[in-house]
């Protein structure tokens, strides 16, 4: 019901931070297939072996399932599991922060009304 997300990337040692906000969009099956195919084989097999977020009794559940899928896909490409896919944030706002002495930090906001708008509004913000 609310397809909006935000993320913050901080590099505190560098006194920098980037915020992004936008609409969450599921990537196409083709994009998911391409990305899955680019991953190492063990990662592909791990995607099949792990019942993500389900409670398991111990690690042996994962290692046994991994071995099962190693045998199942031996000698062939590993297809993308049906439940495996990707999401992205189609950005409508970026804010860049760079720390400076005396709290007179630099802040810039790039915004647009929606993710398909071509033009960005750039504003300097007070710290």
Q: List, by residue number, the catalytic residues.
A: 103
To which residue do tokens 């995607």 refer?
A: 47
CB 81 within 8 A of CB 16: no
Distance separating alpha carbons of residues 108 and 113, to the nearest angstrom = 17
CB 42 within 8 A of CB 121: no
Token digits of residue 118:
């071509």
């Amino acid at each position: 019901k609310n397809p909006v997300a935000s993320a913050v990337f901080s590099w505190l040692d560098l006194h920098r931070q980037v915020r992004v906000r936008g609409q969450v969009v599921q990537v196409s099956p083709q994009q998911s297939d391409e990305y899955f195919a680019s991953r190492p084989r063990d990662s592909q097999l791990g995607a099949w072996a792990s019942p993500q977020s389900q409670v398991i009794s111990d690690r042996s559940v994962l290692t046994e399932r991994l071995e099962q899928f190693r045998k199942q896909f031996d000698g062939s490409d590993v297809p993308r599991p049906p439940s495996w896919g990707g999401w992205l944030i189609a950005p409508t706002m970026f804010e860049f922060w760079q720390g400076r002495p005396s709290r007179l930090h630099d802040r810039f906001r790039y915004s647009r009304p929606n993710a398909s708008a071509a033009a960005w509004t750039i504003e300097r913000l007070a710290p």
